[in-house]
């Protein structure tokens, strides 16, 4: 049994997949297996994968089912004591697994461990570092100082946004995975939902140094459909906010302070009615209903999406969620300009 299993869900990233695989196989922690689940790629990803001869690499092709399904299949095949995920366009720093596994070994009460993130462009050029929830937020808040972002509890901040940014930043033990279960069929927010399920029961740790390169490029999934992304944000909050409000770590703070934070933390792009109706459905207490709402043929889902789309058409243009949009894109541009300015002259 290997110490750690890394799962790569691969889809149409022929340009990047070799570098992703190499970043795992070249880890300083050698006791690992790498499971690549190719989710029906239409490019030559599989051909590139077949050029690797390392016995630690296992490849599982399947018809396209989505990232959550590819991750779940990989985790089903995994045999390691620790489990990690790397998207097929991202890269591990060489010492990442060794450092994060060492942390989990010292803190078994921790359900999820990750690190700060180095943001890179399509060519692999560094654009800057994302320091957890302290910068590069996926959307702005009107009063950050009174929001969850102003605190230090990683579990509470997670109720505002997934500052972990990507499943590539996730490492967890098999025992915690067995407690919370597999990834939900969410197209954009399956990583956020999984982290929140772990946060409800365990401690979270984010190592304050970049050990992951997150690639920003023209085909990042989060750019595809803003209405569907907002629907999933509302679903996440409707499922997890009521559950979190009942936990000891949430209730340990003065309720007036907590609800003022909530007031300044929840952001659903002008679609508060959708969130209110989902809360009225008691999705947090009815997992069957919550699951049904994710089915593509669910008529209420269709009604929700139609309403969100109409709101987006009427509302002033607002930045889409994601690291590469709106003010975040501007922030990254400034980082790139600074890096060019500070680079040593030839």
Where residue 146 sits, what CATH number does that domain have? 3.90.550.10
Exposed/middle/buried for 315, CB within 10 Å: 0-12, 13-18, 19+? exposed
Q: Is 2 exposed, middle or buried (0-12, 13-18, 19+ CB in 10 A)?
A: middle
Whether 346 maps to a domain, the answer reads: no
Calculate what percentage of the chain has a pLDDT beyond 90: 83
Does one domain contain both 238 and 331?
yes
Q: Which of 186, 220, 254 is the last residue of a domain?
A: 220
How many structural domains compose the chain? Answer: 2
Q: What is the pLDDT of residues 164-208, one digit of tens each?
A: 999 999 999 999 999 999 999 999 999 999 999 999 999 999 999
234 and 181 share a domain?
Answer: no
Nearest to 322 by CA among 247, 238, 216: 216
Q: Is residue 85 part of a domain?
A: yes
What pLDDT is stored for residue 217 in this prediction? 75
Q: What is the pLDDT of residues 1-35, one digit of tens each?
A: 999 999 999 999 999 999 999 999 999 999 999 99
Mean residue pLDDT of the chain comes to 90
| 149 and 57 fall within a common domain | yes
Which of 195, 220, 245 is at the close of a domain? Answer: 220
Instruction: Kindly report whether the global pTM for this prediction surpasses the value 0.85.
Output: yes
Domain membership of residue 266 as a residue range: 228-341
d(CA 215, CA 118): 9
CA atoms within 13 A on the CB side of 116: 12
């Amino acid at each position: 049994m290997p110490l750690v299993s890394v799962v790569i869900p691969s889809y149409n990233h022929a340009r990047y997949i070799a570098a992703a695989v190499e970043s795992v196989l070249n880890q300083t922690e050698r006791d690992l297996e790498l499971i690549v689940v190719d989710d029906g790629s239409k490019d030559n990803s599989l051909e590139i994968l077949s050029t690797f001869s390392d016995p630690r690499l296992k490849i599982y092709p399947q018809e396209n089912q989505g990232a959550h399904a590819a991750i779940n299949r990989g985790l089903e095949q995994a045999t390691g004591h620790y489990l990690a995920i790397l998207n097929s366009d991202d890269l591990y720093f060489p010492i990442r697994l060794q450092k994060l596994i060492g942390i989990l070994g010292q803190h078994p009460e921790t359900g999820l461990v990750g690190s700060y993130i180095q943001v890179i462009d399509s060519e692999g050029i560094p654009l800057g570092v994302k320091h957890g929830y302290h910068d590069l937020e996926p959307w702005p808040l009107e009063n950050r100082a009174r929001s969850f972002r102003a605190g230090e509890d990683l579990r509470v901040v997670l109720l505002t946004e997934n500052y972990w940014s990507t499943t590539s930043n996730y490492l967890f033990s098999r025992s915690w995975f067995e407690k919370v279960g597999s990834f939900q069929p969410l197209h954009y927010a399956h990583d956020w939902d999984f982290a929140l399920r772990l946060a409800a029961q365990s401690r979270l740790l984010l190592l304050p140094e970049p050990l992951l390169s997150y690639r920003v490029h023209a085909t990042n999934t989060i750019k595809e459909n803003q209405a569907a992304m907002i629907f999933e944000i509302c679903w996440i909050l409707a499922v997890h906010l009521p559950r979190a409000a009942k936990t000891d770590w949430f209730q340990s703070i003065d309720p007036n302070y907590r609800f003022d934070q909530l007031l300044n933390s929840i952001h659903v792009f002008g679609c508060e009615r959708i969130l209110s109706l989902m809360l009225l459905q008691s999705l947090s207490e009815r997992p069957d209903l919550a699951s049904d709402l994710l089915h593509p043929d669910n008529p209420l889902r269709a009604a929700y999406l139609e309403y969100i789309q109409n709101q987006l058409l009427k509302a002033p243009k607002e930045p889409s969620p994601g690291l590469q949009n709106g003010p975040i894109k501007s922030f990254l541009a400034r980082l790139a300009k600074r890096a060019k300015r500070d680079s040593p002259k030839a």
